[in-house]
Amino acid sequence: MKVGVVTFPGSLDDVDARRAVTIAGGEAVALWHGDHGLRDVDAVVLPGGFSYGDYLRCGAIARFAPVMTEVVEAAKSGMPVLGICNGFQILCESHLLPGALIRNDHRKFVCRDQPLRIESTSTAWTSRYDEGAVVTLVLKNGEGGYVADDATLDRLEGDGRVVARYLGGNPNGSLRDIAGISNERGNVVGLMPHPEHAAEGLCGPGTDGLPFFTSVLQALTAA
């Protein structure tokens, strides 16, 4: 299965995401922000970084990149899409996910190994986890506070669309300790921490992030 990873000007973690796809057993395909096609990939990852320098708002310019026209249409048709950190911001700006990501409440950049609880295993990206599993992923962001109105938050909670929640203290002011969410269909997931930095034992906090990538490969194989 081929998983495309988009590189925007300012992306930092595209190479790491492609490596995680390869470690999981997939074929990683490099996609460019100016592409007008998705090169026949089966899934897409929007990686972390500072797309277009985070001008205006994080992800606000990236949503207008040519490749995002293709990604949005593919996501609406059911293609699995994972947005990590800046990718999560892009998904919200593209209205594939509700809510927004704002400046950390303590106004400082945070970089640490962050414990999470996996709240939903019904998405294309989390099926290989046990529900309620406690994992540790790398967290690094300055604008990682997830916000939405109460009605949206209640809907996310009620529909089981909160994918992951922060444990051990809220690192950025995200409402209800939300670290990741999905769309209604479960094929689109936005996650602030970085699973690609926890995909192999050589570096990072371990391999707790690898099931995000093996999950989507399993979902694609079963489709």
Side chain identity at residue 111, one-letter code: C
- The backbone torsions φ and ψ at residue 107, rounded to the nearest 5 degrees and listed phi first, read 65, 25
Q: Could you give the angle at which helices 210-222 and 14-24 cross, rounded to 10 degrees?
A: 60
Residues 70, 93, 119, 194: which is the catalytic one? 194
Torsion sign over Cα 100, 161, 177, 85: negative
CA atoms within 13 A on the CB side of 80: 28
Helix (H, G, I), strand (E, B) or coil at 92: helix
Instruction: Please say if 85 is a catalytic residue.
Output: yes
- Residue 149 CB contacts under 8 Å (≥ 6 apart), including other chains: none
The three-point CA angle 47-48-51 to 5° equals 95
Q: Which of 33, 58, 70, 85 is catalytic?
A: 85
**Residue 43, Cα to own-chain centre: how many angstroms?**
13
Catalytic residue chosen out of the listed positions 70, 119, 196, 197 = 196
Integer Cα distance of 68 and 56 in angstroms: 18
Annotation says 194 is catalytic: yes
Residue 58: active-site member: no
Q: Which residues are catalytic?
A: 85, 194, 196
